[in-house]
Chains A and B, each alone.
Chain A
Amino acid sequence: MGFLDIKKATKSYGSVRVLHETDISVEEGEFLVLVGPSGCGKSTLLNMIAGLEEVTSGDIAIKGRSMNGVRPADRNIAMVFQSYALYPNMNVAQNMAFGLEMHGIPKPERDKAVAQVADLLQIQPLLDRKPGQLSGGQRQRVAMGRALVRDPDVFLFDEPLSNLDAKLRVDMRTEIKKLHQKLGTTIVYVTHDQIEALTLSTRIAVMFGGHVQQLGTPKEIYDNPANIFVAGFMGSPSMNLFPARVAVENGNAIARIDLADGAAASLPFPPGNAMAAHDGRDIVLGIRPEAITDEDGADRNSKAIHRIETRVEVTEPAGSDTFVVANLGGKEVTGRFRADVDVRPGNTFPFAVNMEKAVAFDPKTEQRIG
Chain B
Amino acid sequence: MATNASANVIRTGGGARFVIYTLLALFCIYYLLPLYVMVVNSLKPLSEIQAGGMMSLPHEWTLAPWRSAWSTAQIGVAATGLKPYFLNSILMVVPAVAISTVLGALNGYVLTKWRFTGDTVVFGLLLFGCFIPFQMVLIPMARMLGLMGLAGTVPGLIFVHLVYGIGFSTLYFRNYYQQFPTELVRAAMIDGAGFFTIFRRIMLPSSGPIAVVCIIWQFTNIWNDFLFGASFSDYDSQPMTVALNNLVQSSTGVKEYNVHFAGAIMAALPTLIVYIVAGRYFVRGLMAGSVKG
Contact = CB atoms under 8 A, between A and B. Distances in A.
Interface of A: 47, 50-52, 71-74, 77-79, 81-83, 85, 87-89, 98-99, 102-103, 146, 150
A50 B190 contact: yes
A71 B192 CA distance: 8
Interface of B: 181, 183-184, 186-193, 197, 201-202, 205-206
A85 B191 CA distance: 12
Nearest to A50: B190
Contacts of A82: 183
A47 B187 CA distance: 11
B112 to A, nearest CB: 15
Given A88-B206, A89-B205, A89-B206, A102 B192 contact: yes
B184 A85 contact: yes
Contacts of B188: 87, 98
A259 B52 CA distance: 103
Nearest to A79: B190
A51 B186 CA distance: 10
A72 B192 CA distance: 7
Nearest to A74: B192
Contacts of A47: 186
A73 B183 contact: no
B186 A102 contact: no
Given A78-B190, A79-B190, A85-B183, 9 more contacts: A52-B186, A73-B191, A79-B186, A81-B183, A87-B184, A88-B206, A98-B188, A98-B191, A102-B191
Contacts of A83: 181, 183
A230 to B, nearest CB: 30
Nearest to A147: B190
Given A83-B181, A85-B184, A85-B187, A73 B206 contact: no
Given A87-B202, A88-B206, A99 B190 contact: yes
Identify which of A50, A71, A98 gathers the most chain B CB atoms within 10 Å of its CB. A98
A353 to B, nearest CB: 47
Contacts of A78: 190
29 contacts: A50-B186, A52-B186, A72-B186, A72-B189, A72-B190, A73-B191, A73-B193, A77-B190, A78-B190, A79-B186, A79-B187, A81-B183, A81-B187, A83-B181, A85-B181, A85-B184, A85-B187, A87-B187, A87-B188, A87-B201, A88-B184, A88-B205, A89-B206, A98-B188, A98-B191, A102-B191, A102-B193, A103-B192, A146-B187
B189 to A, nearest CB: 5
Contacts of B197: 102
Nearest to B191: A99
Contacts of A51: 190
A78 B183 CA distance: 13
Contacts of A85: 181, 183-184, 186-187
A181 to B, nearest CB: 25
Contacts of A98: 188, 191, 193, 201
Nearest to A152: B190
A73 B183 CA distance: 15
Contacts of B187: 79, 81, 85, 87, 146
A88 B201 CA distance: 10
A119 B193 CA distance: 26
Contacts of B192: 73-74, 99, 102-103
A51 B206 CA distance: 26
Contacts of B184: 85, 87-88
B202 to A, nearest CB: 6
B30 to A, nearest CB: 45
A85 B184 CA distance: 5
A315 to B, nearest CB: 44
A52 B188 CA distance: 11
Contacts of A150: 191
Contacts of A99: 190-192
Contact of B189 (A73, A87, A88, A89): A73
Contacts of A88: 184, 205-206
A77 B189 CA distance: 11
Contacts of A71: 189
A312 B197 CA distance: 65
Contacts of B183: 81-83, 85
A135 to B, nearest CB: 19
A99 B192 CA distance: 6
A187 to B, nearest CB: 15
A89 B206 CA distance: 7
A103 B266 CA distance: 54
A276 B43 CA distance: 109
Contacts of B189: 52, 71-73
Contact of A73 (B181, B190, B201, B202): B190
A89 B199 CA distance: 13
Best-surrounded residue of B186, B191, B202 (most CB of chain A within 10 A): B191
A138 B181 CA distance: 19
A79 B95 CA distance: 42
B114 to A, nearest CB: 12
B195 to A, nearest CB: 11
A133 B201 CA distance: 20
